[in-house]
Amino acid sequence: MVTAAAGGIGGELTMLLLEGGASVLACDISGKRLALLEERAGPMRDRLAVLKVDVADETGAGRAADTAIERFGTVHGVANIAGGIAGIGEDIIDRPIERISPDEYRQTVRLNLDSAFFMTRALVPHFRSQRYGKVVNVASLAAFGNFDHMGNAGYDAAKAGVVGLTHTLSRSLGPDGIRINVVAPGSVYTDKVRQAFSPEFIELQRSRIPLREHVGPLDVAKALAFFLSTESDAVSGEVLRASGGLR
């Protein structure tokens, strides 16, 4: 299962999984983008199911889990990619806390932390019954609060919550054979993000990356795919920074 599957990172991950022979339930809030993802899948569409759903809602997450189990019989893993900053733009980055409205704060937590919490919660009974399951969450370097120009107090706190959720569940669910990890990118320049920021801001971000290259959606997708694969079966509770060396 992949949430926000029709976005930049989610679309790349869905294609990687399909190309590797997996069946995928792609969840997204946009039916239009899901239709484009189906077109992109081409001859692999027989292993792709799509569902327009809001997984930041308990009911929506439960519906997504039930759909995957009914369609494929079993679920081996989920990538909780849904998140981001509502209305992203340069005016939101580093916004002072007194200018972050309660609604903006709650929406940011809902998008990033609630989505991971409810989607994981919905799948735990299934994973426990088969004594195997993979959860990979998406946080951000913003979770560690080491940089300006990365997020704001609401976003950073929400992503820190995703890291905390990952660590806690890796301990409590490990005895059930459930592995939970988290990928923490720096700034990921999807088409949507490039449209939201000035060339000067984007260049500033690139200049402080040790590798001097922006991390793209495919780079993050490859890290997520590793945590969903059997190659990472001995790994749980880890944070992987997909950030070009930025820490």
Percent of the residues in the chain that have a pLDDT greater than 70, as a whole number: 98
How do residues 30-61 score in pLDDT, each as one tens digit? 999 999 999 999 999 999 999 999 999 999 99
Q: How many residues in total does the chain contain?
A: 247
The pLDDT of residue 89: 64
The pLDDT of residue 188: 80
Q: Where are the domains of the chain?
A: 8-240
107 or 151, which is more confident: 107
Are the CB atoms for 82 and 100 separated by under 8 Å? no
How do residues 187-208 score in pLDDT, each as one tens digit? 787 777 777 778 888 888 888 8
Please state, in angstroms and as integers, the Cα–Cα distance from residue 176 to each residue in 50, 51, 132, 169, 172, following that order. 28, 28, 7, 11, 8
Percent of the residues in the chain that have a pLDDT greater than 90, as a whole number: 77
Distance CA 26, CA 32 (A): 13
How do residues 51-90 score in pLDDT, each as one tens digit? 999 999 999 999 999 999 999 999 999 999 999 886 666 6
Residue 215 pairs with which residues in a beta bridge? Answer: 188
Position 105 confidence tier, pLDDT thresholds 50, 70, 90 = very high
> Was domain 8-240 assigned CATH 3.40.50.720?
yes
The pLDDT of residue 75: 98
Distance CA 108, CA 131 (A): 33
Q: Poorest-confidence range of 103-112, 119-128, 176-185, 207-216?
A: 207-216
The pLDDT of residue 78: 99
| Mean pLDDT within 178-190 | 90
